[in-house]
């Protein structure tokens, strides 16, 4: 079985003093059994890489452009992320899909760009509340999974994050049974498409995981970690999630 992954998405939060939270997290769990990656805002990536140099904590970006260079004011390319020392990148997060109109095709192109630069892509998929209430969850998740991920994926290059859009930042979560159903569906789809090695592809849960529910969610079959938002900003909160994923 693959090691579980605790991935922190800081979103648009964090100034330089926030690096102290990374140091505190390491001090609290220096020998974590799960993999830890933190994706801070771009302004902190290089500084965080330096802080994490002697730690078992990796650093990632929150997005990248599909092109390696060009006249794209304000954007960051995958080679730029790799040049900072980042090793992961979050792609297709529901906030970017909703706010910037990112399509599955664009997420697919960004994933290819990430792979070309040696980055592991954390590709986000998930349904809205309206889609869930209409009984379309598996249809939506299946389509996004198929169209957002390129051929040739491997456990080393791809992590899937299931994030029910309606649960992000709301404090609401699906039932454990509902999470298990979707993660099981994703596993079957990955194995059907990529073969037996897809059993080792990590599928993480990304809908308001917090210190109170992390242990229960981590115990669900095919949940290989968490993509954590607000609860990753403070070491005192993220520590409990890391420990829950450690088992």
Show me where the domains of the chain are located.
Answer: 5-246
Residues of the chain with pLDDT under 50: none
* Distance between CA atoms of residues 156 and 238, nearest Å: 24
Question: Which residue from 117, 67, 122, 119 is spatially nearest to 91, judged by alpha carbons?
Answer: 122
- Sign of the dihedral defined by the CA atoms of residues 150, 69, 61, 169, in that order: negative
Domain 5-246 has CATH 3.20.20.70: yes
Which of these is catalytic: 26, 163, 183, 240?
A: 163
pLDDT tens, position by position, 73-83: 999 999 999 99
List the catalytic residue out of 21, 65, 66, 93.
Answer: 93
Q: What is the DSSP string of 166-187?
A: GGTTTS----HHHHHHHHHHHH
pLDDT score at 175: 95
> pLDDT per residue over 22-48, tens digit each?
999 999 999 999 999 999 999 999 999
Known active-site residue 93 = yes
Per-residue model confidence (pLDDT) at position 2 = 85
The Cα-based distances of 12 to 44, 61, 63, 209 in angstroms read 11, 12, 12, 18
pLDDT in tens, 151-163: 999 999 999 999 9
Q: Tell me the CB-side half-sphere exposure of residue 79, using CA atoms within 13 A.
A: 5
Reply yes or no on whether 240 is catalytic. Answer: no
């Amino acid at each position: 079985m693959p090691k579980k992954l605790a991935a922190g998405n800081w979103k648009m939060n964090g100034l330089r003093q926030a690096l102290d939270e990374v140091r505190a997290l390491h001090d609290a769990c220096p020998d974590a059994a799960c993999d830890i990656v933190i994706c801070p805002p771009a302004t902190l990536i290089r500084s965080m890489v330096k802080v994490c140099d002697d730690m078992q904590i990796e650093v990632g970006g929150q997005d990248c452009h599909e092109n390696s260079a060009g006249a794209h004011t304000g954007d960051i390319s995958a080679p730029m992320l790799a040049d900072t020392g980042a090793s992961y990148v979050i792609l297709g997060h529901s906030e970017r899909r909703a706010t910037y109109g990112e399509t599955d095709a664009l997420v697919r192109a960004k994933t290819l760009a990430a792979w070309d630069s040696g980055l592991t892509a954390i590709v986000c998929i998930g349904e809205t509340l309206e889609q869930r209430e209409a009984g379309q969850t598996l249809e939506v998740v299946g389509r996004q999974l198929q169209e957002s991920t390129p051929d040739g994926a491997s456990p080393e290059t791809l992590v899937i994050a299931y994030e029910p859009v309606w649960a992000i930042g709301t404090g609401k979560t699906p039932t454990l049974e509902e999470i298990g159903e979707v993660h099981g569906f994703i596993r079957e789809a990955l194995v059907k498409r990529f073969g037996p090695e897809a059993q080792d592809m990590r599928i993480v849960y990304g809908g308001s995981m917090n210190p109170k529910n992390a242990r229960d969610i981590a115990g669900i079959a095919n949940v290989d970690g968490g993509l954590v938002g607000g609860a990753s900003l403070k070491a005192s909160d993220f520590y409990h999630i890391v420990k829950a994923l450690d088992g």
